[in-house]
Chains A and B, each alone.
Chain A
Amino acid sequence: MSGVEPRPAEGRVYDAYLHLLDRQVVDPDGELICKVDDLELELAEDGAAYVRAILTGPAALGPRIGGAAGALMTAVHARLSGGAGPGRIPFHLVADIGSAVTVSARPADLPIRGFEDWVRTTIIDAIPGASDAPE
């Protein structure tokens, strides 16, 4: 997982480790979506690696943590989700890379919100005032 791609003719050069991995992902309104837990790379014929997608969720994070804690995280997620893989955000949705990675998609439209949806519908939504606007 070295460079994102060979030095482009113009524009900024990003380092996948320094500028992408573990960075916060936000939507254009600043709503927090997830972290860049891992990256999906594709090797081109010339040997260069291209970033295809941002991977997120315990299935992506667990292997990166490694050890017993990582294995536990991966196993619990696999058990609860019925073996679903990591959440995937295609890289063409990425609009900007700054102190956060901005993607041009609504969080609700991305297939990465299983746990958030579960907590919302089972616990939070049942409490009065859950949908009241902040003061």
Chain B
Amino acid sequence: MKRLLAVTLGILTAIGGFVDIGDLVANALVGSRYGFALAWVVPVGVVGICLYAEMCGRVAAISGRPVFDLIRERLGPRLGLANLAASFLVTALTLTAEIGGVALALELATSVNYLLWVPLVGFLVWLVIWRVGFARMEQVFGLAGLLLIVFAVALWKLGPDWGQVLHDASHPALPPGEGLPTYLYYAIALFGAAMTPYEVFFFSSGGVEEHWTRRDVGVARSNVFIGFPLGGVLSLAIMGCTALVFFPLGVGVDTLGQVAMPPAVALGKVGLAIVLVGIFAATFGAALETGLSAGYTVAQYFGWQWGKFVRPLQAARFHGVTLLTIVVGVMVMLTTVDPIKVTEYSIVFSAVALPLTYLPILIVANDPEYMGERVNGRISNTLGTVYLVLVLAASLAAIPLMIATKAGQ
């Protein structure tokens, strides 16, 4: 019974923790511009993240070593350092976007300019990382993030013609006036948002933080295979909401206020209140995860003590990196750069960095020296290779498409 409760809690946390500012913005924006014509990218991204997060969870449970620790062992110090630089920058950029997202959610709730919230949000993110235990932190923000289910309720209340929705989603067509490069650019952005590199760094380091062993492989799998797809359903619900409310009007979503509008339209003030708390929890939770991930990647490359399972004094450099990254993120946000733009860039650069993250995972998950007989099976390897090709194509196309489409304009 207790075991079942733990598994359920893990799954619920995974659902709530799946959506972050990148998913919110990308799905809402794509829904408003393309209706359901890009909905197919979400399941493609979700299968990819499930596949590789499962490998990471298994590696962490069997070898007791998180992913980034092993990346350097397999790529060597030079390529490992290049990988660290790219992964760290993308993670720090994502952290900056999450801080902006939390501040925007607070602005929507209070009408106090988000710039005034940014330093306070940065401080609170750091304070939670400094003080709150790993499991409690994950559970509180994961469960609160579940409030985003309000998007699914709103979608149901908006009452679309489901047959038509299914037809639009399964027969993707370019809306009039939209070019193919822009369509592909947003496909890559959506893919990058679903497969953000920090998710696997965090998932595998989290496994070590929670002292997973061989026996926990099942728990890790249930989180990944049930929690992440349900998180993907939330992403689709967000896209569906803006597709129904904004797409027919020809209005493109470019503020977080517009993202929160459909639940308000469908469910009134209560819907708006719930969606604001949900967005706050989801982005705050993701800010914690990206802040920690910034520390994890650097500490794991250099072999420093890391983690929240020891006193901060014992992992001084790790906490130092985390603190510094949050401070820089806050300072970048305070330059009055548009948080939504930062989010868009963070997911496109995530897409660029994807192969660096996912290739070493595939290599390590096949290494019997770490994994014993729990190396990848045939299905994991076949799908893993297919996804590696996809990820590589998305990575190579991302920057040229960004330049050609002027970042999707």
Contacts and interface: CB of A to CB of B under 8 A. Distances in A.
Contact of A131 (B73, B311, B369): B311
A25 B270 CA distance: 54
B166 interface: no
A31 B318 CA distance: 14
A10 to B, nearest CB: 20
Given A31-B305, A56-B303, A61-B77, A124 B319 contact: yes
A32 B135 CA distance: 21
B266 to A, nearest CB: 39
Given A65-B78, A134-B133, A32 B312 contact: no
Contact of B305 (A32, A69, A129): A32
A120 B303 contact: no
A92 to B, nearest CB: 20
Given A124-B312, A129-B130, 7 more contacts: A35-B302, A100-B65, A117-B316, A120-B316, A124-B320, A133-B311, A134-B310
Interface of B: 63-65, 69, 72-73, 76-78, 80-81, 130-136, 299, 302-306, 308-314, 316-317, 319-320, 323, 369-370
Contacts of B133: 134-135
Interface of A: 22-25, 31-35, 37, 56, 61, 64-67, 69-70, 99-100, 107, 115-117, 119-120, 123-125, 127, 129-135
B317 A115 contact: yes
Given A119-B316, A119-B317, A129-B131, A32 B304 contact: yes
17 contacts: A22-B73, A34-B303, A34-B304, A35-B303, A65-B77, A69-B81, A116-B305, A116-B316, A119-B316, A124-B319, A125-B313, A127-B312, A129-B130, A131-B312, A134-B133, A134-B310, A135-B132
Contacts of B323: 123
A131 B314 CA distance: 8
A47 to B, nearest CB: 27
Q: List the 7 shortest-distance A-B pairs measured between CB atoms, nearest first.
A: A135-B133, A35-B303, A120-B316, A124-B316, A32-B305, A119-B316, A34-B303
A105 to B, nearest CB: 15
Contact of A129 (B69, B299, B312, B317): B312
Contact of A32 (B73, B80, B134, B306): B306
B313 A124 contact: yes
A66 B78 contact: yes
A135 B128 CA distance: 12
Contact of A22 (B77, B309, B370): B77
A107 B315 CA distance: 12
A120 B313 contact: yes
A88 to B, nearest CB: 15
Contacts of B64: 99-100
A32 B314 CA distance: 10
A56 B302 CA distance: 9
Contacts of B302: 34-35
Which of A66, A67, A99, A120 has most B Cβ within 10 Å?
A: A99
A17 B80 CA distance: 15
A124 B78 CA distance: 30
Nearest to B316: A120
A67 B76 CA distance: 14
Given A56-B303, A119-B316, A127-B130, A99 B63 contact: yes
A94 B312 CA distance: 27
Contacts of B136: 135
A134 B80 contact: no
A78 B101 CA distance: 41
A107 B310 CA distance: 14
Contacts of B130: 127, 129
Contacts of B65: 24, 99-100
Contacts of B369: 99
A96 B80 CA distance: 25
A134 B305 contact: no
A70 to B, nearest CB: 8
Contact of A24 (B69, B76, B308, B310): B69
Contacts of A35: 72, 302-303
A33 B134 CA distance: 22
B81 A25 contact: no
Nearest to B130: A129
A101 to B, nearest CB: 10
Contacts of A22: 72-73, 76-77, 80
A127 B77 CA distance: 33
A114 to B, nearest CB: 11
